[in-house]
Amino acid sequence: MEQAAPAPNTNELRRGLSAGLSIAFGYMPVAIAFGLLAGSTGLTVYEAVLMSMLVFAGAAQYMALSMIAVGAGMIEIVLATFIVNFRHLLMSASINERAEPTSKRYRALFGFFLTDEVFAVSSVHKEPVPGGYILGTGIAAYSSWVGFTAVGYFTGAVLPAILQESMGIALYALFIALLVPSIKDAGRPVVVLALLGGGFNWIYAFALDTGWAIMAAVITAVVVYELLIRRRIT
């Protein structure tokens, strides 16, 4: 049943914007590196910024660049984006149960901003999570992502070559930084899943294009892991 949309509470919005600042800060080097890499991949600044505005998904955007670089097909890139971002379905489902009741239109608005990081910040808020809080967090992260994509596109070239070279590690450092707290919290399951994902990707990468290799690796990894834990239980 459709409920009346409560007017977005400016107080909640402001609290969300403040919480989202940490993400905005964290996105800065990654967005700059994306803008820089987009330029070196041959995208125009408009194409790079449009991608950050419409997609707003770091890993998928980086993957798209690497696929463009190797001459992958457009449909293949869209499908790979779908596979990489499909995990947001579960985050959306989780937020769905935690968020305060709001109109579907409002949920369709703040749902746009549900990256891993926006989800993580939003989901630790005590229930029910106000829609304005999620929206504020998302807008702070989004502004940084889009703005620094443009900054990176133009300033990338003026950075010292040696720093540019090192910036190639930025995305991987981010992924590791995202993984380590989970390893510390959950331990072996996270390590095993990451090793399975990386291991199968390494194997599939010999035969498949990037997007398909990642897709096949992730599916294989979660199925193999499921079989492993079932065998251990039963």
Partner 1 sequence: MREEFIWMIIGMGLVTYIPRILPLIALSTENWPDWLRRMLSHVPYAVLGALIFPGILYAQETIWYGMLGGVIAFLIAYTGAPLLAVVAGTILLLTGVHIIT
Q: Restricting to residues 43-102, which ones interact with partner 1 according to CB under 8 A? A: 43-44, 46-47, 50-51, 54-57, 59-61, 63-64, 66, 74-75, 77-79, 81-82, 84-93, 95-96, 99
Q: Which of 4-12, 122-130, 148-156, 196-204 is the region at the interface with partner 1 (rule: CB under 8 A)?
A: 196-204
Instruction: Write the interaction track for partner 1 spanning residues 100-139; mark x where CB under 8 A is met and - where it is not.
Output: ----x--xx--xx-x-xx----------------------
Q: Which is nearer to partner 1, 12 or 117 (CB)?
A: 117
Residue 87: CA atoms inside 13 Å, Cβ hemisphere, count? 15
Q: Which is nearer to partner 1, 8 or 111 (CB)?
A: 111
Is residue 202 at the binding interface for partner 1, with CB under 8 A as the rule? yes
Q: How far is the CB of 92 from partner 1 (least distance, A)?
A: 4
Q: Is 37 in the site for partner 1 (CB under 8 A)?
A: no
In the complex with partner 1, the residue whose CB is nearer, 55 or 151, is: 55
105 burial type by CB count under 10 A (0-12 exposed, 13-18 middle, 19+ buried): exposed
Query: What minimum distance in Å lies between the beta carbon of 212 and partner 1?
Result: 11
Q: Which of 163, 188, 231, 234 binds partner 1 (CB under 8 A)?
A: 163
Indicate the residue among 157 and 173 with the shorter CB distance to partner 1.
Answer: 173
- Is 218 among the residues that bind partner 1 (CB under 8 A)? yes
